[in-house]
Amino acid sequence: MSKTLINTIIILLFASALVLGYWYLGDEEQAGIGLTTSTATADGTLVVTDNSESDADLETDKQFVELLAALQSANLGINIFDDPVFANGFSDFHQPLPAVPAGRTNPFAPLPGQVISSGIRP
């Protein structure tokens, strides 16, 4: 096969994959996302309706708020730190670091006795 034919086939396959991906991922109904409806009543009040969430989303939001309220009401006391079992249960495993003399003043400088050529000729 010629190189032009192979490139054409690859481009067509890529384009069809893009179309199928858009069709598969973008086929969900998104008509109500972010839409609000404002209606004025006869007595002059304004009623705003949010059409962006379904019943399942509202139920999920309600469950989340209930769980959040349960977490906020949790009381974590600090009296556990006064318990001798807690206080004596820790062991210190640290090791002291030996004193090490400071290194070179310029760590990027060439080592003594080493010849460096830059490879650039004047």
Residue 52 included in any domain: yes
How many domains would you assign to the chain? 1
Residue 103 included in any domain: no
Digit-coded pLDDT (tens) for 29-51: 555 455 566 666 767 666 666 66
pLDDT at residue 49, as a whole number: 65
Q: CA 24, CA 15: separation in Å to the nearest integer?
A: 14
The yes-or-no verdict on residue 121 having pLDDT over 90 is: no
119 Rama class: left (phi>0) / alpha (psi -120 to 50) / beta: left
Residue 119 included in any domain: no
13 Rama class: left (phi>0) / alpha (psi -120 to 50) / beta: alpha
Bridge partners of 37, per DSSP, are 49
Helices of type H across 1-122: 3-25, 55-72, 84-88
Amino acid at 57: D
pLDDT at residue 30, as a whole number: 54
Digit-coded pLDDT (tens) for 87-106: 777 778 889 999 988 888 88
Residue 93 included in any domain: no
pLDDT at residue 11, as a whole number: 95
What residues contact 121, with CB distance under 8 A and at least 6 apart?
none
Domain with 39 in it: 3-76
pLDDT at residue 1, as a whole number: 76
pLDDT at residue 28, as a whole number: 61
The H or E element that residue 38 is part of is strand 36-40
Digit-coded pLDDT (tens) for 46-78: 666 666 566 777 888 889 999 988 888 888 788
Residue 107 included in any domain: no
Residue 99 included in any domain: no
Residue 106 included in any domain: no
Q: CA 114, CA 99: separation in Å to the nearest integer?
A: 29
